[in-house]
Amino acid sequence: MTTMDADTAEFVKSGFLAAVPFARTLGVEFVELDHGRAVLRLPDNPDHHNHVGGPHAGAMFTLAESASGAIVIGTFGDLLDRAVPLAVSAEIRYRRLAMGEVLAEARLARPRAEVVAELDAGERPEFGVDIELRTAEGTPTGAMTVVWTLKPNAS
């Protein structure tokens, strides 16, 4: 897999945050972005805490879903004239109480070439993005899988 050039990465980051106001509201930040991988951060904000002092489950869901969306746009952004990316389903598993800032590391579960080949064949491909949630110190606190599709544009 090729490395994303800096201009493309900046375009994806700024476009993503412009298109997803709720991620901006929560203060989600990009840490790393490349083809098939993204790391985003949710800063610690007492306004977003739950009843036990950690980030609210909804904020963690948004962080993880945002990381998956960033990969999709970064990996398939050149196909937006042909197809619309849509989340099909998401499953999140909260494993341990998160305190402080939280990181979400997302990875594309299928090679881009396979997904594009299905789209080229006239299919509506589905593909997963796996996300690990962890503290700033690296302790895993949860995991999420988002299944995405590329819905071909009507001709």
Q: Express as a percent the part of the chain with pLDDT over 70.
A: 98
Question: Per residue in 26-58, pLDDT tens?
Answer: 999 999 998 889 999 999 999 999 999 899 999
Q: Kindly list the domain boundaries of the chain, sorted by start residue.
A: 6-152
127: tokens are 């593909």
Q: How far is CA 149 from CA 54, 66, 74, 87, in A?
A: 32, 15, 15, 6
> How far is Cα 113 from Cα 129, in angstroms, rounded to an integer?
15
According to CATH, the topology of domain 6-152 is Thiol Ester Dehydrase; Chain A (3.10.129)
Determine the 3-state secondary structure of 32 from DSSP: strand
pLDDT mean over 94-107: 95
Average pLDDT of 124-151?
97
Query: What is the chain's mean pLDDT, rounded?
Result: 93
Question: What confidence score (pLDDT) does residue 55 get?
Answer: 93
Average pLDDT over residues 103-108: 97
Identify the CA nearest to 117 among candidates 69, 72, 68, 76: 76
SS3 label, residue 93: strand
Residue 64 has pLDDT above 80, yes or no: yes
**Cβ–Cβ under 8 Å, residues 138 and 75:** no
| DSSP secondary structure letter of residue 74 | H
Beta strand extents in the chain (DSSP E only) = 29-34, 37-42, 83-94, 102-108, 126-135, 140-152
